Amino acid sequence: MTYLKRMLAGSVAALVLALPAAAAEYRIAVGDGAGGTQEALGKAFISALEKETGGKMTGKLFLNGQLGDEQDTVTAASTGTLDFSILAINNITPFSPTVGTLTLPYVILSLEDAEKVTQGELGQKMVDQTIEDAGVRIIGWAYSGFRVLTNSKKPISTVADLKDLVVRVPKNEIMIETYKSWGINPTPMAWTETFAALQQKVVDGQDNPYMTVYSMKFDEVQKYVTNLRYIFSIEPLIVSEQLFQGMSAEEQKQVLAAGAAATKASGEFLRAEEAKIRDELAKRGMEIQDPADGEKEFIELATSAVWPKFYDKIGGKDVLNGVLTSLGRETVQ
């Protein structure tokens, strides 16, 4: 080797050593569009992950279901073909029924309730059960607010007003049975099909939090909003358990810390943005109203008819009572 070649070889080797190792970039599926809670959680998680790992790990968000329907992403993460996913909790319930306790109507009545349950001992039990049931690990939680009812036909304030309304719901037994308790048969439909179905009048309405109504631009195809409080929408951030177990103990610790930081940021995001987004939707022409009589009829019909049907599926009445007790509420007998 000539002197010049030795110099060039040495320079190349020095340059290679000086270059930082490429960051591991993970794919993160997101069901919703830009501007909502899911995207905010994802951004907070990526920022925290980069900070925790010194830039050795990062992520890329794929919004609007680009990587598949939310339920499909659970299967993909379970088999190790997807890294992370952020999805509505009702779409993980079919894989891990215990988590469905949080989707029973009128169990979670505030953001504070949601934070207390998901970040406490009961939340950790649900994490452990989901690993066993579904092969995915919940590492963070987004808090999106109550699922308000929107529709394109008429104002809704009573249960009777729901008559003849065609409402889209996820393919989730608890939500289907809740609407049946109010006297209508809802239309189960995949999330990726929902906007088009509303636009083409295949269905009249749907329910989702204000944050999702805004991020999905439902104001373009929906006119009326009813402030139902039957489900407080909680959206877990899951990681493939195969991916997680392939990490070192230090990396696992960093991922969990990033998830915890993103969870905290999500609560702050909802507190800061929900009222602003509701006002913006009203400015865009959506007519917003509360249910009549403090929602009493909706509550009584749903809790009396739906809760008993799902005791066995969520792991027993004691699971529900554990949540109610932790929230200082009366238990069921």
DSSP state letters, 99-130: GGGGGSTTS--SHHHHHHHHTSHHHHHHHHHH
The whole-number pLDDT of residue 21 equals 59
The whole-number pLDDT of residue 275 equals 95
- 229 — pLDDT class (breaks 50, 70, 90): very high
Beta strands at 205-208 and 167-169: parallel, antiparallel or unpaired: parallel
- 23 — pLDDT class (breaks 50, 70, 90): confident
End-to-end CA distance of the chain: 87
Give the residue from 279, 155, 278, 271 showing the smallest Cα distance to 208: 278
Asked whether residue 11 carries a pLDDT value surpassing 70, the answer given is no
Asked whether residue 8 carries a pLDDT value surpassing 50, the answer given is no
The whole-number pLDDT of residue 333 equals 87
Take residue 7 and report the two structure tokens written for it. 């110099």
Q: How far apart are CA 273 and CA 299, in angstroms?
A: 27
The whole-number pLDDT of residue 304 equals 97
pLDDT in tens, 197-210: 999 999 999 999 99
Asked whether residue 295 carries a pLDDT value surpassing 90, the answer given is yes
Take residue 187 and report the two structure tokens written for it. 């239309």
pLDDT in tens, 138-185: 999 999 999 999 999 999 999 999 999 999 999 889 999 999 999 999
Contact (Cβ atoms closer than 8 angstroms) between residue 89 and residue 235:
yes
Q: Across all residues in the chain, what is the average pLDDT?
A: 92
- 33 — pLDDT class (breaks 50, 70, 90): confident
Q: How far apart are CA 333 and CA 246, in angstroms?
A: 44
The whole-number pLDDT of residue 22 equals 72
Answer yes or no: CATH 3.40.190.170 is held by domain 24-144+234-274: yes
The whole-number pLDDT of residue 135 equals 97
Chain region(s) in the chain for CATH 3.40.190.170: 24-144+234-274, 148-230+283-326
The whole-number pLDDT of residue 209 equals 94
Secondary structure class of 285 (helix, strand, coil)? coil
CA dist 150 → 57, 177, 301 (Å)? 39, 18, 20
The whole-number pLDDT of residue 18 equals 43
The whole-number pLDDT of residue 90 equals 87
Asked whether residue 62 carries a pLDDT value surpassing 90, the answer given is yes
pTM of the model: 0.86
Q: How far apart are CA 278 and CA 118, in angstroms?
A: 25
The whole-number pLDDT of residue 112 equals 97
The whole-number pLDDT of residue 213 equals 95
Segment 45-66 shows an average pLDDT of 97
Lowest-confidence pick of 13-22, 253-262, 265-274: 13-22
Asked whether residue 1 carries a pLDDT value surpassing 80, the answer given is no
Burial class for 260, CB neighbours closer than 10 Å (0-12, 13-18, 19+) = middle
Please report, rounded to a whole number, the percentage of residues in the chain having pLDDT higher than 90. 85
Class of domain 148-230+283-326: alpha beta
- 4 — pLDDT class (breaks 50, 70, 90): very low
pLDDT in tens, 119-148: 999 999 999 999 999 999 999 999 999 999
